[in-house]
Amino acid sequence: MTFIKLFSSVFLLLIAISSSASDKLEIHDAWARETPPGTSVMAAYLTLQNPSLSMYTLTGLSSPDFKRIEMHRTEQHDGMSKMLPVPQVMLSSKGHIIFQPGGMHLMLINPKKRLRAGDKITLTLFFSDEHSTKSSLEISLPVKKATANTRHTLHNGQHDSHQH
């Protein structure tokens, strides 16, 4: 291999690495709500910040600790709260997405073991950028008890088997 060829392949590799979402995106305030024993669903929250000029789409999530992860949003209908699945979420340049109690949230479905406050959950977020390049970001978030601040968002409704 000539020097030029070697140089260009290294250069391409650097471009590929620097354009991945994991380099550019920031996760803040990530946590999952501790649930009573026997509950098959947990809610998790986080803020996803995109300081870059690129646009990303959050296309899904997975976790080795759960069977599957869904994105939901909560809507009020006639005083009843209803959860609707969100297949993907756009993350604009310089924008952010907030998953929070009473709003858009993550549903962690069928934990492989009981998770208590103080435990950690591993989550992988999958992204696609404006060129359809796929990337992923792995994070670790703590399980916490609901605080007085989040408890007031509890409500009745068809999804009262868990809190969101």
Q: Which residues bind Cu ion (CB under 5 A)?
A: 72, 83, 107, 164
Q: How far is the CB of 15 from Cu ion (least distance, A)?
A: 38
Q: What span, in angstroms and rounded, lies between the C-alpha atoms of 20 and 22?
A: 5
CB-closest chain residue to Cu ion: 72
Q: How far is the CB of 130 from Cu ion (least distance, A)?
A: 29
Nearer to Cu ion, 107 or 115 (CB): 107
Whether residue 111 contacts residue 40, with contact meaning beta carbons closer than 8 Å, is answered with yes
Tokens describing residue 39: 């509950």
Q: How far is the CB of 72 from Cu ion (least distance, A)?
A: 4
Q: What span, in angstroms and rounded, lies between the C-alpha atoms of 125 and 78?
A: 34
Nearer to Cu ion, 30 or 107 (CB): 107
Q: How far is the CB of 104 from Cu ion (least distance, A)?
A: 9
Which conformational region is residue 102 in: left (phi greater than 0), alpha (psi within -120 to 50 degrees), or beta?
A: left
Nearer to Cu ion, 24 or 164 (CB): 164
Strand locations in 50-104 (E): 56-62, 66-77, 80-85, 89-91, 96-99
Nearer to Cu ion, 21 or 115 (CB): 115
Q: How far is the CB of 161 from Cu ion (least distance, A)?
A: 10
CA distance from start to end of the chain: 57
Give strand pairing partners of 83.
74
Q: Give the Cα-Cα-Cα angle 65, 84, 66 (nearest 5 degrees).
A: 5
Nearer to Cu ion, 101 or 135 (CB): 101
